[in-house]
């Protein structure tokens, strides 16, 4: 009963010391000794007393020493406790929020908006930023049009909202006249407009089965064409990274081999995509410290993510990757606010 929430095991003093230690290590990047703690923790204890506490903390697996006579550094568990119970999150000052808001203008088109968000995350935190591009399942469809390109090729135009238009080129099974295409578009517009892509797709599939016999072939073709048009959300399996190079600044990641692997992973994106997708259903900011993310390559890193919403649905995730000793008190609100602002920007153009 006393070991699952280790916080109850910890005296105020131990908590205070752990907190000071973590803060100091995050700031300086160097092991913290008892002497330093006795000076900075404001507890008016001698170094010797502090050493006793540190020995306890070490036994609990919250801190460790790189070698006998270095100070202590937090372990992953130490960071975890720190983040969960000891951290005081600094609210961003309104000037910073204002800057973020300006750079995430609803006027931008989706891609630019996402790139801007990723760039901002990296610039503001001095770490790597990442944004999972928004899923479109719940984006509602405003209008659908066909445009004949050549005999069997037709351009499908899906108008999503004020600032976003998608188009796809489809290969048809036979030649349709411009008039036929217009009819098909009208037919589809009648029954899909204002609905979201996912439900449109479902409905089209349903209708296709239901009316196959007693329906004229043009309608059937229309449905099929519509289905094809809204089917694959191509390119949606993507994530936009920015500022990876910032990670070169952190000495603790300096094993060239590790760095290489990390950058290779950034290049491939697959792993990052998996990471982000796995926390798309979490509520609010989520933090993975060290191995918690489950991805080997990120063992020495921490990841802070937050989902963002449009129209009440989570449509994507964004976050940053940095060293485990990142300034969580700043990073957490930044990621949080950026997610809200990105959501808001996407939302306000529906």
Partner DNA sequence: ATTTGGCACTCTCAAGCCGCGAGTGCCAAG
Partner DNA sequence: CTTGGCACTCGCGGCTTGAGAGTGCCAAAT
Interacting residues toward DNA by CB under 7 A? 31-36, 44-49, 51-52, 54-55, 58, 65-72
Residue 147 Cβ, how far from its own copies at the closest point, in Å?
6
Nearest in space to 289 (alpha carbons), one of 65, 8, 74: 74
165 touches, from its own copies, DNA, none (C-beta below 5 to 8 Å by class): its own copies
Rank residues 56 and 277 by Cβ distance to DNA and give the closer one. Answer: 56
**Residue 300: which residues within 8 A CB-CB, separation 6 or more?**
252, 253, 258, 290, 323, 324
| Footprint (CB under 8 A) of its own copies, residues 235-274 | 242-245, 248-249, 254, 256, 259-260, 263-264, 266-267
52 touches, from DNA, its own copies, none (C-beta below 5 to 8 Å by class): DNA
| Footprint (CB under 8 A) of its own copies, residues 166-185 | 167, 169
Angle at 328 between CA 322 and CA 332, to 5 degrees: 95
Residue 157 Cβ, how far from its own copies at the closest point, in Å?
7
Residue 139 Cβ, how far from its own copies at the closest point, in Å?
15
By CB under 8 A, the count of residues binding its own copies is 29
Nearest in space to 15 (alpha carbons), one of 100, 112, 86: 86
Binding mask 115-144 for its own copies (x = CB under 8 A): ---------------------------xx-
Q: How far is CA 47 from the centre of its chain?
A: 43
Rank residues 65 and 183 by Cβ distance to DNA and give the closer one. Answer: 65
- Stretch of 153-161, 271-279, 292-300, 342-350 lying at the interface with its own copies (CB under 8 A): 153-161
Q: Taking CB under 8 A as the rule, does residue 233 contact its own copies? A: no
Nearest in space to 160 (alpha carbons), one of 135, 197, 105, 134: 197
Residue 47 Cβ, how far from DNA at the closest point, in Å?
6
**Burial class of 329 by CB neighbour count within 10 A (0 to 12, 13 to 18, 19+):** middle
Cβ neighbours of 224 (radius 10 Å): 15
- Stretch of 11-19, 87-95, 159-167, 225-233 lying at the interface with its own copies (CB under 8 A): 159-167
242 touches, from DNA, its own copies, none (C-beta below 5 to 8 Å by class): its own copies
Contact (Cβ atoms closer than 8 angstroms) between residue 40 and residue 21: no
- Enter the tokens of residue 39: 């000076």
- Stretch of 25-33, 56-64, 80-88, 157-165 lying at the interface with its own copies (CB under 8 A): 157-165
Instruction: Return the beta strands (E) in the chain as ranges.
Output: 63-64, 73-74, 128-132, 143-150, 153-161, 164-171, 239-242, 286-289, 301-310, 313-323
**Distance between CA atoms of 29 and 21, rounded to whole angstroms?**
11
2 touches, from DNA, its own copies, none (C-beta below 5 to 8 Å by class): none
**Residue 188: which residues within 8 A CB-CB, separation 6 or more?**
144, 222, 223, 225, 226
Q: How far is CA 229 from CA 166, 211, 223, in A?
A: 10, 20, 10
Residue 123 Cβ, how far from DNA at the closest point, in Å?
32
Q: How far is CA 17 from the centre of its chain?
A: 33
67 touches, from DNA, its own copies, none (C-beta below 5 to 8 Å by class): DNA
105 touches, from its own copies, DNA, none (C-beta below 5 to 8 Å by class): none
Give me the residues that bind its own copies (CB under 8 A), please. 142-143, 145, 147, 149-150, 153, 155, 157, 159, 162-163, 165, 167, 169, 242-245, 248-249, 254, 256, 259-260, 263-264, 266-267
């Amino acid at each position: 009963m006393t070991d699952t929430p280790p916080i109850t095991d910890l005296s105020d003093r131990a908590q205070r010391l752990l907190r000071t230690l973590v803060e100091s290590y995050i700031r300086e990047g160097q092991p913290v000794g008892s002497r330093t703690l006795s000076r900075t923790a404001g507890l008016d204890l001698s170094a010797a007393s502090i050493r006793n506490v540190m020995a306890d903390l070490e036994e609990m697996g919250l801190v460790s020493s790189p070698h006998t006579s270095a100070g202590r550094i937090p372990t992953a568990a130490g960071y975890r406790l720190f983040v969960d119970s000891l951290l005081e999150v600094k609210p961003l000052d309104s000037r910073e929020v204002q800057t973020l808001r300006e750079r995430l203008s609803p006027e931008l088109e989706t891609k630019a908006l996402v790139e801007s968000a990723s760039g901002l995350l990296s610039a503001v935190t001095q770490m790597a930023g990442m944004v999972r591009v928004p899923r479109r399942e719940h984006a509602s469809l405003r209008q659908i049009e066909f445009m004949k390109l050549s005999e069997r090729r037709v351009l499908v135009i899906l108008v999503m909202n004020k600032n976003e238009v998608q188009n796809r080129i489809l290969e048809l099974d036979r030649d349709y006249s411009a008039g036929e295409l217009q009819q098909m578009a009208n037919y589809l517009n009648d029954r899909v407009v204002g609905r979201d892509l996912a439900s449109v797709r479902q409905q089209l599939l349903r209708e296709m089965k239901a009316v196959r016999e007693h329906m004229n072939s043009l309608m059937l073709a229309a449905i099929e064409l519509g289905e094809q048009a809204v089917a694959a959300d191509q390119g949606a399996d993507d994530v936009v990274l920015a500022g990876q190079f910032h990670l070169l600044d952190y000495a603790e990641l300096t094993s060239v081999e590790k760095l290489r692997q990390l950058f290779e992973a950034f290049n491939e994106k697959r792993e990052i995509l998996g990471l982000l997708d796995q926390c798309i259903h979490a509520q609010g900011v989520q933090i993975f410290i060290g191995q918690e993310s489950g991805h080997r390559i990120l063992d020495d890193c921490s990841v802070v993510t937050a989902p963002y919403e449009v129209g009440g649905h989570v449509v994507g995730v964004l976050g940053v990757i940095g060293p485990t000793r990142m300034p969580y008190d700043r990073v957490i609100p930044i990621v949080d606010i950026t997610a809200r602002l990105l959501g808001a920007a996407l939302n306000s153009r529906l």
